[in-house]
Amino acid sequence: MRPYFEKMPEFGQPLSSSAKQEASESAAQILAVEKEIEAEIQKVKQAGMPEEKINARGQLTVWQRLRYLVDPGSWCPLHTLYNPESNAEGHTNVFDGLAKISGRWAVVIGFDNSYMAGAWVAGQPDNILRVTNLAKRLNVPLVWVVNCSGVKLPEQEKFYANRRGSGTPFYRHAELNQLGIPVLAGIYGTNPAGGGYQGISPTILFAHKDCNIAVGGGGILSGMSPKGHFDVEGAEALITAAKQYKAKPPGSVSIHYDETGFFRYVYDTEEGVLDGLKEYMAEIPAYNPRFFRVATPKAPILQERDLYHLLPFNQKRAYSFEQLLSRMVDGSEHMEFRPDYGPEVYTGW
């Protein structure tokens, strides 16, 4: 196919100064919307405890962990503003995206330990389902950065029930395992209840020395309220019960590394866990992109920033699709398929 794709017809025309001037107001409106979106993203990222406070506890934030884990320049965020249940925090308490780790693509998802220590909140199951679906469709590893304190108990009816609820990761992990798609998880902090799902899924666990992970145990039982709800009196009773609980937490490193074998590796530092994930990813077989590539990637000939002037802010105004496309594709080249058939739809390479 090289003769067809190595050099295809160029299309699109440069944008004149007068055309840019004419569309300048529309471009300014689009840029203003982009700034609003960026401000919302920053607001969501800073919704929980400040980074300095978490670092003072000897922990890294989810964003520090992700920056350390993924290859520089490869992070492609997804669902950052996804908030189907309109949580006050503006997010689902997990952040995810596509990224390269040790040169190999993966779907990456991390619990936000700055808010309720990474608890499950409303809307999170749907977010996780989207992420695990993506790993299945793309046939690339799913990598977790787990730091989940369990569930936001007063709202558990919003995420445990139904087919798309919090039990779905069990099914999806098993499905990925059957398909031969690796599921890796770095484990930090205390992870009871919902945070313990990773330990009973077909997942390779990379654990920090101070973490624990369990679906049940004394810590959870002590939190059960006979009233069916929590108030100040109930909270004080819970604190008292927790102080009197002397047994070793279920799911600690001494249990899951020395006894059950759930933890594949244990590390002394937070960075060590991430280094372990990197090392494992480097050893996963992967195709070289050259296997699929028929032409060398290149930037469009026409200016990409012209898009702000070509796509009108007013959605009732017409625009040239080919002008837009020519600024998004390699070398501003294309080969249209059946150009005279169904003129209202573009298809091509």
**Band of the pLDDT at 260, cuts 50, 70, 90?**
confident
Q: Closest Cα to residue 91, out of 126, 61, 67?
A: 126
The CATH number corresponding to 47-289 among 3.20.20.70, 1.10.287.70, 3.30.420.40, 3.90.226.10 equals 3.90.226.10
pLDDT of residue 16: 94
Q: What average pLDDT is seen over the chain? A: 88
The residue assigned the tokens 């920053």 is 42
Long-range contacts of 32-41 (CB under 8 A, 24+ apart): 37/81, 40/81, 40/90, 41/80, 41/81
The pTM assigned to this predicted structure is 0.86
pLDDT of residue 336: 93
pLDDT of residue 217: 54
Please give the single-letter amino acid code of residue 276: G
Query: In the predicted model, what is the mean pLDDT of residues 71-85?
Result: 96
Distance between CA atoms of 248 and 263, rounded to whole angstroms? 17
Tens digit of pLDDT for each residue in 154-176? Answer: 787 887 778 888 888 888 888 99
Which residues of the chain does CATH 3.90.226.10 include? 47-289
pLDDT at 200 over 90: no
Give the pairing type, strands 76-78 and 94-101. Answer: antiparallel
